[in-house]
Chains A and B, each alone.
Chain A
Amino acid sequence: MNEDAPSAEVFEAPSHDEMIARFGRDLVNDFDLDDPAFNDKFDETLNYMVRKCPVVHSRVGRGYYLINTQDDVRRAAQDWRTFSSAKGYMPNRPEGLPYLMPEESDPPIHTKWRHVLNPHLSPRTVAGYEQPVRDDVNALIDKFIDRAECEFISEFGALLPGWAFFKNILGLPIDDLAMLVNGVEEGTFAPDPEVRGKYFGEVFAYLETHLAWRKTQPSRGDLIDTILAGVTYEGGTESPWAHKVSILVDLTFGGIATTTFVMASAIHHLAMHPDQRQLLLDDPSLIENAIEEYARFFPPVVALGRTCTRDVEVSGTTIPEGEFVMLTYAAASRDPRHMDEPEKIDVRREGIPHSTFGVGPHRCIGSNLARVELTATLEEWLKRIPEFSVKPGTEPTYVTGFLRSMRSLELVW
């Protein structure tokens, strides 16, 4: 619990037999992000790993490690020279998939791009989107409020982030959103890596066509024009077209594939816990803090990867040069060394040092926008539908890999 707990922690050793009994496998030597048991026992697995398994290894495909404690995740994320992003963020990356800027790059290229992109998603800029996002929240609620029930994901959660991003930031038509949402979802969760590659390919092709079209149009001074203008790399070369397309792809993945999960999980939790809901109804100024707590506990990005540029020791395990390492942001956000009762959700929790939006230079560029969407959603929803619950006989369904997503959530009021 100590703020400045010594980093050289002594871990209580995990027991092989206990892991087999509880999780059906030895997490330390044989972890698998795509194991359905990880989806089903998500909280239990994370809580166990962050306490007992600072580093685990997976034998799937080319193999990868996961780093689980908050101190190790933070140090690795900040040490980009040792933990490089330039070889991608997903384990067992499909062959031939182009690298995505800025996420799959290191400084100084990364810094150049972030420098020009940041202003388009800064707290000040996104504050200007608050009212339009709020209007969209209400327009979506209008469609189902009189029915006294909805399927939250398809009727709200999967739509709002796309609307917010497409309408306010990209100026893209929302008619094409369904195709892109599906493409990103299948590209992430389809069991077959080939199929993942095919869906990603479609998303790439669509966005490239749009970018090429904007090149023929007068400048609007927006994010797309900033991407088209490009940056100059060290040594004076101009950023190539492929990098520009990938920026748009990366932003779109982030913009539509993540916020839904925090939103839906928060609404689900409030449906199940009238006491916490009442706290927010009585004092709406608590909502912003509640969002940090929900983001901490319901992380859409479970873990993202780096490649070791040298042999490196992490909490007693030596990870060899060239190995792929996932930073388990989801586990780091519930580290008992840094907070009391991490497995409890409390909207009043004070000081929430979570890593849901990442740590280090790759800190989520969309975090300010995501917070605007989440705040508008909880504030407007609670005003208009203060009492609601999960439809009897149903429960939400989830899918998990290096991302986590909710597939359905039936509500009634």
Chain B
Amino acid sequence: MRMKIDDENCTGHGRCAKYAPNVFRLDDDGYNVDRGSEIEVPAGEEKTALLGMKSCPERAITIVEE
């Protein structure tokens, strides 16, 4: 599964990394380090990734349709 993190709409709530620390990482200011690009969700982390995605108040994370 691939996910995309929107650049402008990520405003550093940090919820994604709280609920899915093996999928999303934060930079020193607390914003998603991968904002503006796509990531590959590691195998077995789909459920936590979806929880992190759902917890983002900005809806900055979306699933990339293959």
Q: A357 to B54, Cβ gap below 8 A?
A: no
Query: In the assembled complex, which residues on chain B have CB atoms less than 8 Å from the CB atom of A3?
Result: 54
Query: In the assembled complex, which residues on chain B have CB atoms less than 8 Å from the CB atom of A367?
Result: 13-14
Query: In the assembled complex, which residues on chain A have CB atoms less than 8 Å from the CB atom of B28?
Result: 119, 122, 124
Query: In the assembled complex, which residues on chain B have CB atoms less than 8 Å from the CB atom of A58?
Result: none
Is A315 an interface residue when CB atoms closer than 8 A count as contact?
Answer: no
Is B26 an interface residue when CB atoms closer than 8 A count as contact?
Answer: yes
Given A78-B9, A360-B11: A124 and B58 interface contact (C-beta under 8 Å): no
Is B18 an interface residue when CB atoms closer than 8 A count as contact?
Answer: yes
Given A118-B30, A124-B28, A350-B51: A360 and B14 interface contact (C-beta under 8 Å): no
Q: B13 to A361, Cβ gap below 8 A?
A: no
Nearest chain-B residue to A329 (Cβ)? B57
Q: Which of B29, B56, B58, B59 contacts A122 (CB 8 A)?
A: B29
The B contact surface, by secondary structure, is loop
Q: B29 to A363, Cβ gap below 8 A?
A: no
Query: In the assembled complex, which residues on chain A have CB atoms less than 8 Å from the CB atom of B54?
Result: 3, 350-351, 353
Q: B12 to A118, Cβ gap below 8 A?
A: yes
Number of residues on chain B facing chain A (CB within 8 A): 21
Bound complex: CA A368 to CA B13 (Å) = 8
The A contact surface, by secondary structure, is loop
Is A334 an interface residue when CB atoms closer than 8 A count as contact?
Answer: no
Q: A354 to B30, Cβ gap below 8 A?
A: no
Query: In the assembled complex, which residues on chain B have CB atoms less than 8 Å from the CB atom of A353?
Result: 54-57, 59
Q: A360 to B58, Cβ gap below 8 A?
A: yes
Given A123-B30, A351-B51, A357-B13: A288 and B58 interface contact (C-beta under 8 Å): no
Q: B56 to A123, Cβ gap below 8 A?
A: no
Bound complex: CA A98 to CA B4 (Å) = 40
B42 to chain A, nearest CB (A): 19
> Which residues B29-48 have CB closer than 8 A to chain A?
29-30
B residues near A, CB below 8 A? 8-9, 11-15, 18-19, 26, 28-30, 50-51, 54-59
Q: A74-B58, A118-B30 are in contact. List 8 more A-B contacts (CB 8 A).
A: A122-B28, A122-B29, A123-B14, A124-B30, A292-B55, A357-B13, A359-B58, A363-B12
